[in-house]
Amino acid sequence: MTPNWKIAPFAAVLAPLLLVAGIAQGETKLSMADARKAALAVENGNIKSAELEKEKGKQIYSFDIEMPDGLHEVSIDAMTGTLVEDTIENAADEAKEAAQEAKDAKKAPKKAKKAPAAGANPQ
């Protein structure tokens, strides 16, 4: 069987993306909806944000829940559904977390700019 060279570049790009997506999905047993229920069972407030993240080598669902005494960060283990953390965030904690996220975003690989095609007339 001879390779189809027209499809090969797409397969080379698509295969790693599908692999990563499959690995990411395989790392969680708990759905976001079930994690949300677990978080609200701990702190029954208004969820301001929710995300799946990797922290200290574990996949966790992290929820920021608005409560009368402040913003609680409630983390639920994505594999077991157990409570990992329930802390009240203050302004300093939020600023530190935002700075870390910005630092992590800078480390992410950047997309290369595409050069104009040969003979193209840029305007």
Per residue of the chain (123 residues), give pLDDT as tens: 454 455 545 444 444 444 444 444 456 899 999 999 999 999 999 999 999 999 888 899 999 999 999 999 999 999 999 999 999 987 787 788 778 878 877 876 655 555 555 555 555
Beta-carbon contacts of residue 116 (< 8 Å; ≥ 6 apart): 122
pLDDT of residue 9: 52
pLDDT of residue 15: 47
Q: Which amino acid is at 18?
A: L
pLDDT of residue 37: 96
pLDDT of residue 30: 93
Residue pair 23/59 in contact by the 8 Å Cβ criterion = no
Residue pair 36/62 in contact by the 8 Å Cβ criterion = no
pLDDT of residue 36: 97
Architecture of domain 28-101: Roll (3.10)
Phi and psi angles of residue 62, each rounded to the nearest 5 degrees, phi first = -115, 130
